[in-house]
Amino acid sequence: MTDNNAKEIIKQYAIRLGDDALVQGHRLSEWCRNGPFLEEDLALTNVALDFIGRARMFYSYAADIDGGDYSEDSYAYQRDCRDFTNLLIHELPGGDFAFTMARQYLMDEYSLMFMERLCDSSDETLAAVAAKSVKESRYHLRRSRDWMLRLGDGTQESHKRLQKALGDLWGYMPEVFELDDLEQGLADQGIAVDSAALKGGWEKAVRATFSEATIDVPADDWSVRGGRQGMHTEYLGHMLSDLQFVQRAYPGQEW
């Protein structure tokens, strides 16, 4: 494999992680001014900004590899639905507060483990982004886990909503722990994280939280996948039309 090829593959990996962060951050940002109360509104928006910052770091790295006129904006604003390679779970609409926090919790638990591993990546830039992200993820998890307990062990209504949300999300989780050839190859070289290896630890942590939150583990009877290959749910296109509107209407506009 030539050096250029190797860099190209790392770039694709960086874009995947950037897409995850951007889509997740954008969904959270939709809570801005819609939060259940002022304090939570600000807290959710802070978390959204952490993810958008993370997306910028991954995209900047990709732009460095692509060179030329590429910038972080090229990936966020100038690609279509099928070019996005985020995991499907991130693009689902925010739903109610229980759904948003349930998704956040499932992914925070994963992200923290993932970023801790990525700190050891032999790729220095990825490792540096991970080192910054780990601190953020620790706080995100503290918050979302707390909400799992409050909602799960809260009122009948909050329990019901959280249980339903987890059921609706559960089938999106297997994709998170699957590696295609690109990621497996990078993982074998010590560059990417072997996310399949995180599954055991993740399940253990999630089950412990569920049990404390008096939540039943949802049934493993369905699963969907395809995000890494650009096969998305119907929701991503609508989200992008919102996210990309200004750059589509006024290409290259700056302010």
Partner 1 sequence: MSDHMKLYEVFLRSKRGLDHKHVGSLHAEDAQQALEYARDVYTRRSEGVSIWVVNSSDIVASQEDDCESFYDPHDDKPYRHATHYQLPDEVNNM
Region binding partner 1 by CB under 8 A among candidate stretches 71-79, 136-144, 176-184, 212-220: 136-144
Verify binding: residue 146, partner 1, rule CB under 8 A. Answer: yes
Q: Per-residue string for binding with partner 1, 216-255, x by CB under 8 A?
A: ----------------------------------------
Q: How many CB atoms lie within 10 A of CB 251?
A: 9
Of 30 and 175, which has the nearer Cβ to partner 1? 30
Q: Which of residues 57-116 bind partner 1 (CB under 8 A)?
A: none
Verify binding: residue 143, partner 1, rule CB under 8 A. Answer: yes
Considering the complex, what minimum distance in angstroms separates the CB of residue 217 from partner 1? 26
Q: Which two tokens stand for residue 91?
A: 């693009």
C-alpha distances out from residue 79 to 56, 138, 164, 229, Å: 15, 31, 33, 14
**Residue 116: what residue type?**
E
Q: Which of residues 6-45 bind partner 1 (CB under 8 A)?
A: 36-40, 42-43
Of 120 and 157, which has the nearer Cβ to partner 1? 157
Considering the complex, what minimum distance in angstroms separates the CB of residue 158 from partner 1? 11
Of 11 and 56, which has the nearer Cβ to partner 1? 56
Considering the complex, what minimum distance in angstroms separates the CB of residue 163 from partner 1? 20
Considering the complex, what minimum distance in angstroms separates the CB of residue 143 from partner 1? 6
Verify binding: residue 156, partner 1, rule CB under 8 A. Answer: no
Of 46 and 189, which has the nearer Cβ to partner 1? 46
Of 90 and 143, which has the nearer Cβ to partner 1? 143
CA dihedral 217, 101, 171, 129 (to 10 degrees): -120
Q: Which residues here bind partner 1, judged by CB under 8 A? A: 36-40, 42-43, 46, 139, 142-143, 146, 150
